[in-house]
Amino acid sequence: MYSDLITFIRDWYQTKGIIPLHEPRFREIDRNYVLDAIDSTFVSSIGEYVDRFEQKLAQYLGAGYAVAMVNGTAALQTALRVAGVEQNDEVITQPLTFVATANAIVHNNAVPVFVDVNRETLGLCPAALENFLDQNAQKNGRGTFNKNSGRRIAAIVPMHTFGHPCRMSQILELAASWQIPVVEDAAEALGSKISNTHCATFGSLGVLSFNGNKTITCGGGGAIITNDTALARKAKHLTTTAKVDHQWEFVHDEIGYNFRLPNLNAALACAQLEQLEGFLNDKRKLAAAYEAFFRINEWGRFVTEPDGCSSNYWLNAVITSDKKQRDEFLKKTNESGIMTRPAWKLLPDLPMYKKCQTDNLKNARWLVQRIINLPSSARKANA
């Protein structure tokens, strides 16, 4: 059965060589914009491409503001600080996510708490979140606190796994009832929507990533998205070393970060953003072909967009029947030059997060033994 899949993927990408999991796609416009930034000599964190990218990104998302940053991890770290997360606070997130989600919490000297995911969306499960809060949380005049640890629960961070949107309306409703801010980790979800609303725009703040393996890339890169003027100004201030605006004086009024996106990277980001709709169309065509293949070859459930959503299908995924089949699948495809990979190791199973509070993680543990990511590049060899 694996020979059929290998043939299908090779035919799609029209190559006999190694097929990567997700590679960037560059055209002449990308080179031209980067060379223009070089010619301008403004290659660091000041330049017209930074401003242009922020404006165009916010416009595309239908958001008030975008603050461009060096990477998605830095964006999430800053967003959590801007949202009010402080030392020894707790932040609720999911166990099935890239390690940067939890690392950004700890960079704020806060403590991650891991609550189970939903089997359909692969993201934070509203039912599990409701159950966790009912059992462990209590409100008082100073906020919402964990009855077991005594720490304040300062934020909830849902992550849109592989670009598939979480059930945000339910998560937001729960968060509002407990008076907890939502910071949306949309690192993988640029272009994904719930109804007509873009991911990254549901919470108080959202974050995106433009790493080399993302739907669009500028080598690194990330962004904070918000509709709140004060939060946007705070984020931009913190990420430019908290420097007070002045023509020549260097005065800094708090501890900030050197996290702003360089103009050289922003030039590439602008070019990539102009091509985003084409990338998304290509990726949806590939996802539809995968879905049809796995529907006929009934030996794995292809992960499709949740009802009412439009996913960017950043990484296509299939869920096998068990771990044995997953491991065989990985072995056969990788030996044939088709790059596939399992899901990340669950974060509370990593040594630095073993002591963090969790719920039963039933769905996450079931999924992590079965998920395989498939080649998902928005390109064909002749494109």
pLDDT digits (tens, 9 = 90+) for 44-103: 988 999 999 999 999 999 999 999 999 999 999 999 999 999 999 999 999 999 999 999
Residue range 2-23+276-374, CATH number: 3.90.1150.10
**What's the confidence (pLDDT) of residue 356?**
98
Residue of 265, 271, 270, 366 whose CA lies nearest to 46 = 265
**What's the confidence (pLDDT) of residue 297?**
83
Above 70 in pLDDT, residue 199?
A: yes
* C-alpha span between 41 and 102 (Å, rounded): 37
Contacts of 214 (CB under 8 A, 6+ apart): 22, 187, 188, 190, 314
C-beta neighbour count of 89 within 10 angstroms: 21
Single pTM value for the model: 0.96
**What's the confidence (pLDDT) of residue 380?**
57
| Residue matched to tokens 């999911």 | 94
Which helix (H) or strand (E) is 137 found in, with range?
Answer: strand 137-140
Burial pattern 290-310, b for ≥16 Cβ within 10 A else e, equals bbebbeeeeebbbbbbbeebb
Quote the tokens at residue 338: 């088709």
Place 163 in a pLDDT band, splitting at 50, 70 and 90.
very high
Domain residue spans of the chain = 2-23+276-374, 28-274
**What's the confidence (pLDDT) of residue 174?**
98
Above 70 in pLDDT, residue 381?
A: no
Average pLDDT, integer, range 38-47: 92
* C-alpha span between 210 and 191 (Å, rounded): 12
Pick the CATH number of 28-274 from 3.40.50.450, 3.40.50.2300, 3.40.1280.10, 3.40.640.10: 3.40.640.10
* C-alpha span between 235 and 226 (Å, rounded): 10
